[in-house]
Structure 1
Amino acid sequence: IYMFIAPLSLIQCPESGSTEVSWGEHGENYYFWSFDPDGSTQISQRVCDLIGLPKYQVETKSWASYFPNYQFQAIQQVQKYLGYDPSTQDFAKACGLPLIEVI
């Protein structure tokens, strides 16, 4: 038995900065069970209940992190001391850290 879960999208509102969690076109049907490894045929909810398949529950949490400005300034000073430009991603690259795309 195979479980298929729809992809989750996070959409950020540019005006408010709030983030919306969306299952796209799947709405409330964001997962299903199937006997097929490719998911070509869904098992009905009635059969899932009869054979005791668990329901998939999703919980999302969000929180805002705040760091005082002096912490950012200290990090910039360390980067400058080590010969890096804090306005670039060079320090992160040198440390092997994941990079983000600044929009």
Structure 2
Amino acid sequence: MLSKKEWPLCPVATTVELIGNKWKLLILRDLLSGTKRFGELRKSVSGISQKVLTDNLRSLEEDGLVVRTVYAEVPPRVEYKLSDLGNTLRPIMNVMGEWGTSYQIRYGKKDVE
């Protein structure tokens, strides 16, 4: 987690610092639909390695955007979900999805349905 001294002056830069890599955005996208186990996230985030997924989940947890719950079972079960703070990103993610769909349609990347 960044300390207040390390935060960029620009609020947009702060947001980018927290969620601005490809993997974090895709992890957050998948957690919008609810709680997921590690294996579910690994399957749904195409192309991500186990190490990169672990590193990004830890970072999102440190920044307070994701909650990790470990259940004392054999084998151990670990689940991830958006925190209350992470849920505040929902409107941003929805608008990004809408914008991406519009772009794909406009520039012939996606068939109009």
Alignment TM class, shorter chain as reference: under 0.3
TM-score where L is the length of structure 2: 0.22
Structure with greater helix percent: 2
> Which of structures 1 and 2 has the bigger CA Rg?
1
More relative contact order in 1 or in 2 (CA 8 Å, sep 6+)?
A: 2
Which TM-score applies when normalising by structure 1? 0.23
